[in-house]
Structure formats: C-alpha cells, structure tokens
Structure 1
Amino acid sequence: MTQKVVKRQEILEAFNFRRAIKAFDPTKKITDEDFNVILEAARLSPSSVGMEPWKFLVVQNQEFREKLKEISPGAQGHLPTASHFVIILSRTIKDTRYDSEYVKNQVLNVLGVPDEISDQMIESIGNFQVNQQNVLESEQKALDWAKRQTYLPFANMMTVAALLGIDSCPIEGFYIDKVEKLLAEENLLEDGHLAVSAMVAFGYRAANEPKFPRGRKDMKEIVQWIN
C-alpha cells in the first residue's frame, strides 16, 4: 500500500470520526502540544486577500465560562466539560476596510510587501472590495465578508483535531448581542474592532455520548461536473 493511499485513508477516517459532540469527558484534557497544533492550523489558514480578519479567544477560566453558559443555549453541555473552548472573532470594517491602519500593517509588516509596491497592493484590495465584492456597501456587509473568512480556520481546527483523535463541536447557539456585551465589558473586542463569529469546543467525547448514524447526501446529489 502506497503512502498516498494510507494518507487518503487517514483523512477519510478523520472525517468519519468527527461528530458534533454535545458533552465531553471533563477528566480528559488535551495536551498543550496537541492544542498548539490546532491553533497553528488556524493561524496558517488562508483568507481573502491575505487579511486574516480574525482572532481566537481560548476561554479556560471557569468563572467566565459560567457567564457564557447563561447566554449560550447551544453550549450548555460544552462549557462545563470541554478541555478547551474557543470564541472565534471577526474583524469589523474599522480594520478590514482597504485604507485602514490594520490593512496597511498587514500589507507592509505581515505580508512583507515592499514599500514601493505596497500602495499598489492596497489599491488593488480597494478595487476588490469596492468593485468586485461590494464589501464596503455597509458595515454589516463588511462584517459578513470577514465572518465568512473565519470559517476557514474554524473548519481547519476541527479537521486537525479529528486527525489527532480529538473531538470537537461547532457552536452558533448563543445570544450574539449578549455575548458581545460580555466580551466588550471585559475589553476583549478592541473597542469595536472585533465582533463574535462563532464558538467551538474541544475535548474527548464522554462514554455515554449518543452515537447517531452519519447523515449525508450522496455525492451525485451535491456535485455537478461541467466538462
């Protein structure tokens, strides 16, 4: 069996292993080494025009988790039991607009674009945002664009976790206004530069975690080839 065939099997096994776990075994903790790999998968994820419009809050403080639990109906089983709990934040128009200080820093200092062509790249980003994707029509549209980007590291984190034999659950069941109010009170939204996108819990499934058959459409129902 070739190495590529083995790798294919490992990938598909990981996707079949992954379930939306509703509660974890609180006695089992993810090692720092494994969780750092999960975070690194998020950090290395792609984003539109290389903007990385995200931030990840790893919530380990139990008192803070209790506050979240009160306003997150979809995380009732996760917050008390998860080894690691992450709130995924997206950047607002204050940062994602092409002429913002955030974009200028991203282009010059993160992407390392030379000074002599940085203005040209920023102008190109502006053309993309204004004329191609209409991102700047409203603050909400700009935020929606940024939130779509966060789902790339979001998915990659869960896939890498599954490859490591670690369970996870994506979570959108929360009162977003209340969660953002809580985070703002804790000075975690950088004065309106960040907004809440989603949550994700990581850990090891409890022994009594229900195991339902995986329901997915057939490939022919979701894929159409244009040859």
Structure 2
Amino acid sequence: MNMQSIINAYQFRHACKDFNPEKKIPEEQFEAIIEMARLSPSSFGFEQWDMLVIMNPEIREAIREIAPGGQLQIPNCSHLAVLLGKKMPIMRFDSSYIDYMLKDVQKVPDEVYTFMKEFVERFQRETFRLLDSDRAMFDWSCKQAYIALGNMLTGAALMGIDSCPMEGFDPKALNNILETRCGMDQSTHGAAVLCAFGYRVKEPRAKTRRPVEKVVRWIR
C-alpha cells in the first residue's frame, strides 16, 4: 500500500447506482468492512451508533418502497447496511450505557471515571447543549455514524468493492420497518444512513470535483 494506491481507491469509489445482483461480496471481506467501521473514532470513544445488515429480500423490498434514493441499489446490492444513531436515553451522561463504556469497555480507573462523567455532563449540558432536545442528541450520534460510514466506503474501495450511501428515505417509515421487522427499539435508536455494497455493472463517468485551490486555504 502506497500513497498512489490510496488515491486510486478514492478515484475508484463512486456512488454506485447499478449493482450486479449475481455478484456477492465474500463474507470475510464484508466482515473486514464492518471491522473498519467498528474501529472508527467517535466522540469520547462512546460508539454512538450500531449497525443492521439487511440481507432478507422481503425486508429490502419494504425499505425500497419508502426509499426513493435507493430504487436500484437496495434490491440488487450484495449487502445493505443501516447505520443507527443512539438516542437520548442511551447517550445521556448519566445513562447505564455511558457507565458501561467508561467502566467495562474503556476500563478507566475510578478517579478518571469521576472526572469523565463530570466532563461529559458539561459537554452535553453546556458546550454542545445536547440535552436541550432529543434531536440535538440524535444528530450528535448521527455525526459519529458518518465517521464510520466514511471508513467503510474507503475500505471497500481499497478492496475493489463498490458502495452507495443513501439518505433518500422516509425516516419515520424506515424506523417503523426496522422496529417491526428487525427488532430496533425506536425509543433508543433511529436510522442515520443507508449504505449499499456490491459490484458495479458498468463503469461510471469520470469523477467530478472542484479544484483543490477552490476547496482549501492554507493559513500560515
């Protein structure tokens, strides 16, 4: 792996609309994509998202019906991932989940635990005002989910696997499907973004981006 091969992967990656339904991603490769998401950074390391991988064709069809942005991708892709953002009951500074992350996952010592709880409370209550509304907290979680999504897209491209992230869905309808068909609890989770993975049917048009001098200003 060198610098040019990484850039080539970014050139390869595009929002694939037309997947080959006959070509499936080897399970070990998709497990690697999941691992790239799992190892992604998140605010405070609190892992504010979970994931569903929808393989069931009937559930996919139900999702396709309420997702105008995924009419071709959802039924034909090899793997369909749904990243879920965690909501207020889980992500509040005083929740059992935050205790679990600090004590059992991060294994912080007692003196650090007390400091972290107080710091996170200030962050949520005053700095970012996440406790002002359920939506503020959920949006914060979704931002963390997008970090994982970006790493999944890049990792897939490095393996020659195509992808298409999708926001073109009815959130209320999708959340109802995920609750009734997939066991998601809407009081604690909500859909952040869909992403299809698989293999392209045809080559895309050339990638278009603004020139770098229009994007970046160096402040020296």
Regarding TM over 0.5, the answer is yes
In 2: Cα distance, 1:72 partner to 1:186 partner: 16
Q: 1:123 aligns with which of 118, 121, 132?
A: 118
- The question of whether the paired residues in 1 share the 8 Å contact of 2:175 and 2:186 is answered with no
Measured in 2, the distance between the counterparts of 1:150 and 1:49 equals 13
Aligned in 2, Cα 1:80/1:187: closer, same or farther, shift over 3 Å? closer
Matches of 1:182 and 1:219, distance apart in 2: 42
Q: Once superposed, what is the RMSD of the aligned Cα atoms? A: 1.2
Q: Aligned partners of 2:78 and 2:214: how far apart in 1?
A: 37
Residue 202 (str. 1) matches residue 197 (str. 2): yes
Give the drift of 1:198: 0.4
* One of 28, 51, 54 as aligned partner of 1:56: 51
In the TM superposition, residue 191 of structure 1 has moved relative to its aligned partner by 4.8
Question: Counterpart of 1:160 in structure 2: which amino acid?
Answer: G
- Unmatched tracts of structure 2, length 5 or more: none
Q: Quote the Cα distance in structure 2 between the aligned partners of 1:176 and 1:11.
A: 34
2:17 is aligned with 1:22: yes
**Aligned counterpart, 1:219:** 212
1:37-82 CA deviation, whole Å, 9 max, x = no partner? 1000000000011110101100001111111111111111012110
Question: Which one of 85, 89, 113 corresponds to residue 90 of structure 1?
Answer: 85
Is 1:184 paired with 2:179? yes
Output aligned runs, 1:95-174, within 5 Å. Answer: 95-174=90-169
Post-superposition offset of 1:115: 2.9
Q: How high is the TM-score relative to the length of structure 1?
A: 0.93
Q: TM-score, normalised by structure 2?
A: 0.96
Q: Secondary structure at the match of 1:79?
A: helix
Q: Which runs of 4+ in 1 moved over 4 A?
A: none
Alignment match, 1:7: 2
Structure 1 unpaired stretches of 5+: 1-5
Which amino acid in 1 is paired with 2:211? Answer: D
Deviation sequence 1:6-63 (CA, Å, 0-9, x none): 6101110000000110011111110011111100000000001111010110000111
Confirm or deny: 8 A CA contact 2:77 2:196 kept in the other structure.
Answer: yes
Shift of 1:187: 5.5
User: How far apart are 1:181 and its partner, in Å?
Assistant: 1.1
Shift of the alpha carbon at 1:87? 0.6
1:124 to 1:151, Cα distance in 2 relative to 1, 3 A: same
Deviation at residue 123 of structure 1 after TM alignment: 1.1
Closer, same or farther: CA 187–57 of 1 in aligned 2, 3 Å:
closer
Q: Secondary structure at the match of 1:112?
A: coil
* Alpha-carbon shift at residue 188 of structure 1 (Å): 2.7
How is 1:40-79 mapped onto 2 (pairs within 5 angstroms)? 40-79=35-74
Q: Sequence identity, in percent?
A: 39
Q: Aligned pairs, how many?
A: 220
Letter in 2 for 1:36: E
Corresponding letter in the other structure for 1:223: V
